[in-house]
Structure 1
Amino acid sequence: MEWKDVLKRYLVFVLGLYFLSAGIVLIVRSTLGTTPISSVNYVLSLNTPLTLGTCTFIINMVLIAGQFWLVRGNRSRQDIVEILLQIPFSFIFSAFIDVNMALASDLHPSGYGSAMALLLIGCIVQSVGVVLELKPRVAMMSAEAFVKYASHRYSKEFGQFKVYFDVTLVTLAVLLSLAFRQSIEGVREGSLIAACLTGYIVTFLNQKIMTRKTLYKLVPALKG
């Protein structure tokens, strides 16, 4: 594969990160909670001087360190490269989150209906990001990679371990919120809706809208 094709694949991946970050920010701005993967980051950002992007980067670094621990004693050169590659992409993703938080700073839903609409738009935008992130097959973000290595380590199915992982994050976010403010913030009905809807939207986009054939026409490099 030529370097231009590789570059195009990475550009599509980075575009996916932008949409993913934008979707997360829209869900946060809906005031109905946030996604399970961002729940701990969001609670920390609410209770510390750190931005949501900065908290996201810190948690990603923890997950990257966790991956090195999971592959201990059986790590290959490919594993090391794959894990280290997450660092610059985590930085880019975290920066995108802070940029989009600033751009959406004046976005305040006027009622529950508009908040729910904003939540659903955020789920769609986030799902577009997930599809664009997965299609190039060049890298993984730290949360998904952590689940992959953990499922391999403990001989569990990826989807099953992903549920355990998400539930653990939400539980930790609730405990942190209670510890900081003696109330639950950042985890609401929107968190459950986003968790349930995103997978279905990703599947629909992947199979009906953003198919490989469609993306190949737009970015031929993805065909390789």
Structure 2
Amino acid sequence: MIRFIIYIFGLFNITIGINLSIVSGLGISPVSAFTLPLSQSLQISLGTITTVIYIVFVLVQYLLLKDRFKKKNILQIPFSIVFGFFVNLPGSFMKGIQLNTYMSQLGILLISILICAIGATLYIAMDIVPNAPEGLQLAFCERFNWPFSKVKMASDCLFVFVGFIIAVLFLNGNTAIREGTILSALLTGKLIGLFSQKVNPILHKIVFQEDVRIA
């Protein structure tokens, strides 16, 4: 039960971070860098389009791993539906928030990056199933033996690029991708790597009763 609660809390943290990055006005977080302009282009809620894209990510994982694809990762699909609901929920409470100075915007952005990294660290450590984007990144790590932090950074940059193209083609260049998006892409993966090194031993000792030393 503790393991499941920490997992759900981690997912919910990420959705809070996503919505805080929108509130900051300095750029959407990379995990939504292309789902947001896609939802705006199609006039579908961000939570709904996120769920659909995440299910596609699960399919790509299967194509990458095939026989090595773990059956439990099918659970990413129902959890993606829950995640989509979580994305819409904090956003409904944060509408109308306005930040009047650049420093306040930057502060909220940095908080959003921190919260997203903490959330990802928590649910990955619980080893139930990863959220679909991280599941896709982990699939690349397993398939090609690449370190997660580097794959995370590369995929975030790719999401940003795709989101920019969508905005140029369908939104007349009106994009939520700004300097904050690049900052998120560069920092989130590194923070996850740092937090995982420090926090995972503690979490594993609490949840899995592992006797490990903290690095």
1:128 aligns with 2:118: yes
Unaligned stretches of 5+ in structure 1? 1-6
Does the aligned pair in 2 maintain the 1:54–1:94 contact within 8 Å?
yes
Q: How does 1:159-178 map to 2 (within 5 A)?
A: 159-178=149-168
User: Equivalent residue for 2:53?
Assistant: 59
Does the aligned pair in 2 maintain the 1:43–1:173 contact within 8 Å?
yes
- For residues 207 and 84 of structure 1, what CA distance do their matches in structure 2 show? 27
1:191 aligns with 2:171: no
User: Equivalent residue for 1:212?
Assistant: 201
Matched residue SS, 2:57:
helix
User: Residue type of the partner of 1:169?
Assistant: F
User: Residue type of the partner of 1:61?
Assistant: I
Q: 1:205 Cα shift?
A: 4.2
Does the aligned pair in 1 maintain the 2:10–2:123 contact within 8 Å?
yes
Unaligned stretches of 5+ in structure 2? 211-215
User: Residue type of the partner of 1:212?
Assistant: P
Q: 1:158 Cα shift?
A: 4.1
User: Equivalent residue for 2:25?
Assistant: 31
Matched residue SS, 2:77:
helix
TM-score norm. by structure 2 comes to 0.86
TM-score norm. by structure 1 comes to 0.83
Q: 1:127 Cα shift?
A: 2.1
> Which of 94, 98, 103 is matched with 2:88 structurally?
98
Cα gap change, 1:129 to 1:164, in 2 (>3 Å): closer
Q: 1:180 Cα shift?
A: 0.8
- For residues 35 and 96 of structure 1, what CA distance do their matches in structure 2 show? 16
User: Equivalent residue for 1:138?
Assistant: 128
Matched residue SS, 1:110:
coil
Cα gap change, 1:166 to 1:206, in 2 (>3 Å): closer
User: Equivalent residue for 1:41?
Assistant: 35
Does the aligned pair in 2 maintain the 1:47–1:180 contact within 8 Å?
yes
- For residues 137 and 118 of structure 2, what CA distance do their matches in structure 1 show? 21
Percent identity for Structure 1 against Structure 2: 26
User: Equivalent residue for 1:20?
Assistant: 14
How many residues of Structure 1 are paired with residues of Structure 2 in the alignment? 210
User: Residue type of the partner of 1:62?
Assistant: V
Tell me the C-alpha RMSD between the 2 structures.
2.3
Cα gap change, 1:68 to 1:108, in 2 (>3 Å): same
Cα gap change, 1:147 to 1:127, in 2 (>3 Å): closer
Q: 1:105 Cα shift?
A: 1.0
- Displaced runs of 4+ in structure 1, greater than 6 A? none
